[in-house]
Structure 1
Amino acid sequence: MKYIAFILFTVMTNAAAQLMLKQGMMSLGPISFEGVNPIIKLLQIVFSPWVFLGLCTFVISMASHLYVLSKVELSFAYPFLSLAYVVVAVFAYFVFREDLNAWRIAGIAFICVGTVLIAQSGGADQGHEPGEGGKATQTTSLSTDKISGTVR
């Protein structure tokens, strides 16, 4: 449970990036590539303020996720990213006035229950180095000598 804060930071930055991208695309209006160089249009989209900020936030989210992956099992960390769906749905309801009907609420509830079950599995306490509070994960590295069969 030691890395839950980092996992939740990853979830929140991922969700924030989605919301920024949505705001950016709403501010640009409907996209059309007719009569316009597609590369120029793509650059206009990428460098519009909200879209650019959203992409930068995704980079921060990915850096945080890489840190988390260096500390905990993938099968523990990755399912937490589904909480971003929950955050996005709730904020989209309040910020963009998007529909949050019974089916979506039921789906959100299932996601939350599943995430709680995964959190109870304790995978975050199993670090890669001994002395981090969990058992060490064995890793095997393959050198080019092992692959080619050369013995030194």
Structure 2
Amino acid sequence: MNPISLFCILAGVTLNAAAQLLLKAGTNAVGHFEFTRANILPIGWRLATQPPLIAGLACYVVSLVVWVVGLSRVDVSIAYPMLSLGYVVNAFAAWYLFGEVLSVQKLVGIGIILLGVVIVARS
């Protein structure tokens, strides 16, 4: 994999991870909710007007474009497993930004993911 291809794949992964974090920040601003017939429009509007949520959706759009460029250069059997790096990024970012717990079990899982990505990338 050449540097430009790697950049496209990693940029797609990073943008996808950022989108998830921004969506979480947007829903945190709204708070816990449930959609019912009575509140679907007010809650939908509150969600649709949250700047972090809008930014998260924009990250998804850009990540899709970058991902398609990356897929045009890299075998999907190599590129797709790289998406799992987003789990690693999000676990640490959620711990740092939102105070989510990083248990030993999660850290072991992250280690397994990283080992799997290395094995696939070297194949």
Q: Percent identity?
A: 38
Partner residue, 1:90: 92
How far apart are 1:45 and its partner, in Å? Answer: 1.1
Structure with more contact order per residue of length (Cα contacts < 8 Å, sep ≥ 6): 2
Partner residue, 1:46: 48
2:78 to 76, 80, 89: 76
Structure 1 residues 74 and 35 mapped into 2: Cα distance closer, same or farther (>3 Å)? Answer: closer
Mark the structure with the bigger radius of gyration: 1
Partner residue, 2:115: 113
1:104 to 103, 106, 120: 106
Q: Secondary structure at the match of 2:44?
A: helix
**2:85–2:113 CA contact under 8 A, matched in 1:** yes
Q: CA RMSD in A?
A: 1.5
Partner residue, 1:10: 12
How far apart are 1:41 and its partner, in Å? Answer: 2.9
Q: TM-score, normalised by structure 2?
A: 0.91
Which range moved further: 61-70 or 101-110? 61-70
Counterpart CA distance in 2 for 1:115 and 1:44 is 38
Counterpart CA distance in 1 for 2:64 and 2:32 is 28
**2:30–2:46 CA contact under 8 A, matched in 1:** no
**AA matched with 1:110:** I
Runs of 4+ in 1 over 4 A off after TM superposition: none
Counterpart CA distance in 1 for 2:113 and 2:8 is 19
How far apart are 1:24 and its partner, in Å? Answer: 0.5
The unaligned stretches of length 5 or more in structure 1 are: 122-152
Partner residue, 2:28: 26
Q: Deviations for 1:28-70, whole angstroms, at most 9, x for unmatched residues?
A: 1111334635245324312311111101111111111111111
The unaligned stretches of length 5 or more in structure 2 are: none
**2:84–2:113 CA contact under 8 A, matched in 1:** yes
